[in-house]
Amino acid sequence: MTKEQYEQRLETCKACPVYNEKYGTCGQPTDAINPFKKAVELDGVTFKPCGCAVEHKAAYAVSQCPANRWAELPKKTLVDEALDFIGTIKKRGRLVPGEMAKIYQMRKEILGINDGKMGTSCPPCLEEIVNKLERKLMEEIKTQESTVVPETKKKTIKRTKTKKGGTNDIN
């Protein structure tokens, strides 16, 4: 994601009526005691503000605005960002706060698994999810690369002058 795309996301969030200026979050901050948010309707879209810190959430290409107000990023950017994120986790060998939620959001969006789970405390299960995500993203890259149409060789036309000043086309 480019700096301009990130700045545009922040600008969109800060202009949104559900933005919580005090905490810098999408609606009220996520609260372990009461994590359930009330639905809000905005421009005909009903959604639940996520409570995430927008400066953090906006930085990840795979993140989405719950109100669908962010401009869509090019698909390649999303795939590259997701693979970078997975690579960082694998290199580090552990998660930092907020990454479990991101992995499960990717699990939902990329793998299509929508079972309501928000995380796992089982390291082998988490490793399996991360590996599945990585395989699916790599398949997507291969598919994108195979759909690129190779440039066709252009036919050249040589022109020769005639005695009358016109041209003759010769293939």
Q: Is the CB of residue 69 less than 8 Å from the CB of residue 44?
A: no
**55 and 44 fall within a common domain:** yes
Distance CA 111, CA 137 (A): 9
At 42, list the tokens: 């905005």
State the Cα torsion 78-125-99-110 to the nearest 10°: 20
**102 and 50 fall within a common domain:** no
Please give the pLDDT value at position 34.
55
Please give the pLDDT value at position 17.
92
Q: 72, 99, 129: which is the final residue of a domain?
A: 72
Q: Is the CB of residue 63 less than 8 Å from the CB of residue 105?
A: yes
Distance CA 171, CA 2 (A): 47
At which residue do the structure tokens 């421009």 appear? 43
User: 0.75 cut: is pTM over it?
Assistant: no
Q: How many domains does the chain have?
A: 2
Q: 29, 52, 72: which is the final residue of a domain?
A: 72
Q: 53, 72, 91: which is the final residue of a domain?
A: 72
Please give the pLDDT value at position 166.
54
- 145 lies in which domain range? 74-171
**86 and 68 fall within a common domain:** no
- In order of 125, 132, 138, 145, the CA distances from 149 in angstroms are 39, 28, 19, 9
- The pLDDT confidence band at residue 143, using thresholds 50, 70 and 90, is confident
**Interval 70-125: pLDDT, tens:** 988 776 677 888 898 999 999 999 888 888 988 998 898 889 898 888 888 888 99
**128 and 99 fall within a common domain:** yes
Please give the pLDDT value at position 60.
82
**160 and 93 fall within a common domain:** yes
**Interval 18-58: pLDDT, tens:** 999 999 999 888 765 556 678 888 888 898 888 889 998 88
**88 and 165 fall within a common domain:** yes
- The pLDDT confidence band at residue 13, using thresholds 50, 70 and 90, is very high
